[in-house]
Amino acid sequence: MTNFKTPIFLFFFLCFLVFSFDLTSAALPQFLVSWRTDSYIPNWYQGKIFPTNGSKIDINFELLENGKIVNLSKTKIRWYINDKLVKNEKNGLGIKFLSFVANDYPGQETEIRIALPDYKGGPLDEIIKIPIVSPEAVIDSPYPDNQVYIGGSSFTAYPFFFNIKKPDELSFEWFVDGRPVKEGERADKLDLNIDPLTPSGWEIGVRATIKNLLNQMEFSVKNIKLRIR
């Protein structure tokens, strides 16, 4: 009987600890933080938009406690970017919004710290790290495994995460096997006509280069390899 009761006692004891932990966790204040950036993406894109160097970032938060949003209108809130204080109670109380331009470079992270130095008598902090990415060119190839037939085929280049407001602030260049291709009606589109004498299995290199006309340091290159079926 002793061997049977011991596991049962341990089971209920562990359940008590888990239940107590959940109650304690639920009572702790939680930061609900969201951020967005203004870097350019195609209008069909529904994923997360990431900033690059020079992008504007807007970040805001709410504090949740016991399932309710806390009124912070009379609370000191301090904002830090990469450990540098950029806004505090001298700018006003209850500031839950920050807007800034990303100075970090692709591959780095911008660290934001939200500090409530005397929330209910003690400090309360939250740290958010925002990844900084490179502008990216993507070639839409609607052909499985990039295998194309003799004759006509079309490709479209899409820009992601450029610091522009509208697409005409970009330039598009196409190259086929290293040779520049004359622009058609749409600079972002390549209409490729493959010679009927091209043998099956032949490979063709296609490259798209997208540049920011307002910033020559901001560009991206994408290469794909086509194979004749």
Q: What is the pLDDT of residues 99-142, one digit of tens each?
A: 999 999 999 999 999 999 999 989 999 999 999 999 999 999 99
CATH numeric code, 136-228: 2.60.40.10
**pTM listed for this prediction:** 0.81
pLDDT of residue 183: 73
Q: Which residue has the tokens 């291709």?
A: 181
Least confident of 51-60, 184-193, 214-223: 184-193
Can you list the pairs that 213-218 forms with residues at least 24 positions away whose Cβ atoms lie under 8 Å?
Answer: 213/169, 213/170, 213/171, 214/163, 214/164, 214/169, 215/54, 215/163, 218/52, 218/54, 218/135, 218/162, 218/163
Distance CA(188)–CA(186), nearest Å, equals: 5
Residue 65 tokens read as: 């406690």
Mean pLDDT on 64-74: 96
Give Cβ neighbours of residue 40 (< 8 Å, ≥ 6 apart).
159, 160, 161, 162, 163, 164, 165, 167
- Comparing CA positions, the residue from 101, 113, 91, 152 lying closest to residue 33 is 113
Distance CA(143)–CA(94), nearest Å, equals: 54
Distance CA(141)–CA(126), nearest Å, equals: 43
Check whether 50 has a pLDDT greater than 60: yes
- Segment 183-193, tens digit of pLDDT: 777 899 999 99
CATH 2.60.40.10 domain residues, the chain:
136-228
Tell me which architecture the domain covering 30-131 has in CATH.
Sandwich (2.60)
